[in-house]
A = this chain, B = another copy of it.
Amino acid sequence: MAIVRVGFIELWVRDLEKSLEFYQGLLGFRLEHREEGAAYLRGYEELEWSLKLTQAPFPAVRALGFKVDEKGLEQGLAWARQEGVPYRLESDWGRPEILRLQDPFGYPLAFYFKAEKLPRVLQNYHEHRGPGILRIDHLNVFSPRVGEATRFYQEVFGFRLTEYTEDDQGRLWASWLHRKGNVHDIAFTNGEGPRLHHFAYWLPDPLAVLKAADILAGAMRTDQIERGPGRHGISNAMFLYLKDPDGHRIELYTSDYLTVDPDLPPVRWSLNDPRRQTLWGHRTPKSWFLEGSPLLDLEDRLVPTEAPALQGLPEHVT
């Protein structure tokens, strides 16, 4: 199943107006479509929507979306049937065919190829607002079995490893896996799961990351700035982690590197390297290692979670 890239995320939110005030009003996402209880947004570079917000009784993640190639849907369907995982064909606004399935770890994936293209607004700079959200970059999920999930996503879904974190005993604590040619489309982080850790959008440059923090501060919402701005050791990207009004974590991210070489050697990080999380040595707040968003299965029921096999937190936590 040829996955092209991460494509979208669908979030359950408790108050759609509040969420839009955050995503559209402060972060400047383009609102492209609204219908009964749902909103579809995109970044300025995207030709397809990438963020769907759905009014719901509690916060959760309904789908982790991936763009596949022309034959991907058919192959995914064959695979789902063969493996016996739950699956379903759906359609959504501008996406006539979506294959939803729950992978063996419980993640609610959604594969699609066909998409109605929205008008190109990348160079409509006079319409850009906020820090200039460009495109969805990656998903990061908690997993109690990082090693297993990493192997599965490599072998079955064809992801490629770019960086990883190990402890002194060689146990895998986190992995970064890509399809599209930068550091990741998906990352696995050790922790109670399956849950979403965060989703991330690409910004035009490091100053835009600072601008996002300024905007939150200007709006007197520093409590929603969880971590950063900073530069990651892992990925080398500039980052800022925000909590949306429902506690979903969004990362603003930019300036990692090209990973298309088939012989690219993955970068190994030691769990307690102070430069791993933030190259500048900043400590990471404990919430960052513990809090995440619950997932929904194909029947919109909460996916049960398990505690991680690897216990404890890294050093360099505040």
* A residues lining the B interface (CB < 8 Å): 4-5, 26, 45, 47, 67, 69-70, 113-115, 117, 120, 122-129, 134-135, 180-181, 202, 204-207, 210-211, 213-219, 222-223, 225, 229-231, 233, 236, 238, 255, 257-258, 260-265, 267, 274-275, 279-281, 283, 318
Q: Which residues of B contact A264 (CB under 8 A)?
A: 47
Q: Which residues of B contact A274 (CB under 8 A)?
A: 222
Q: Which residues of B contact A283 (CB under 8 A)?
A: 318
- Name the one of B125, B211, B222 contacting A214, with C-beta atoms under 8 angstroms: B125
- From A47, A69, A255, A281, residue with most partner B Cβ within 10 Å: A281
Beyond A4-B261, A45-B257, A207-B207, 12 additional pairs, beta carbon < 8 A: A70-B262, A113-B263, A115-B263, A125-B211, A125-B215, A127-B218, A134-B257, A180-B260, A181-B260, A217-B231, A229-B229, A318-B318
Question: In the complex, which residue of chain B has the Cβ closest to the Cβ of A70?
Answer: B262
Q: Which residues of B contact A126 (CB under 8 A)?
A: 26, 215-216, 218-219
A91 to chain B, nearest CB (A): 17
Name the prevailing secondary structure of the A interface residues.
loop
Question: In the complex, which residue of chain B has the Cβ closest to the Cβ of A207?
Answer: B207
Q: Which residues of B contact A67 (CB under 8 A)?
A: 261
- From A127, A261, A265, residue with most partner B Cβ within 10 Å: A261
A203 to chain B, nearest CB (A): 11
C-alpha gap A134/B274 in the complex (Å): 25
- Name the one of B217, B255, B265 contacting A279, with C-beta atoms under 8 angstroms: B217
C-alpha gap A206/B204 in the complex (Å): 9
A282 to chain B, nearest CB (A): 8
Contact B258 A231 (CB under 8 A): no
Sample 25 A-B pairs with CB under 8 A, ordered by A number: A5-B258, A5-B261, A47-B264, A70-B262, A114-B263, A125-B211, A125-B217, A125-B219, A128-B218, A129-B129, A134-B257, A135-B257, A180-B260, A181-B260, A202-B258, A205-B205, A205-B255, A207-B207, A213-B279, A213-B280, A217-B279, A225-B280, A229-B229, A229-B230, A229-B280
Question: In the complex, which residue of chain B has the Cβ closest to the Cβ of A121?
Answer: B218
- Name the one of B122, B180, B258 contacting A135, with C-beta atoms under 8 angstroms: B258
A212 to chain B, nearest CB (A): 9
Contact A267 B213 (CB under 8 A): no
Q: Which residues of B contact A218 (CB under 8 A)?
A: 123-128
- From A4, A123, A229, residue with most partner B Cβ within 10 Å: A123
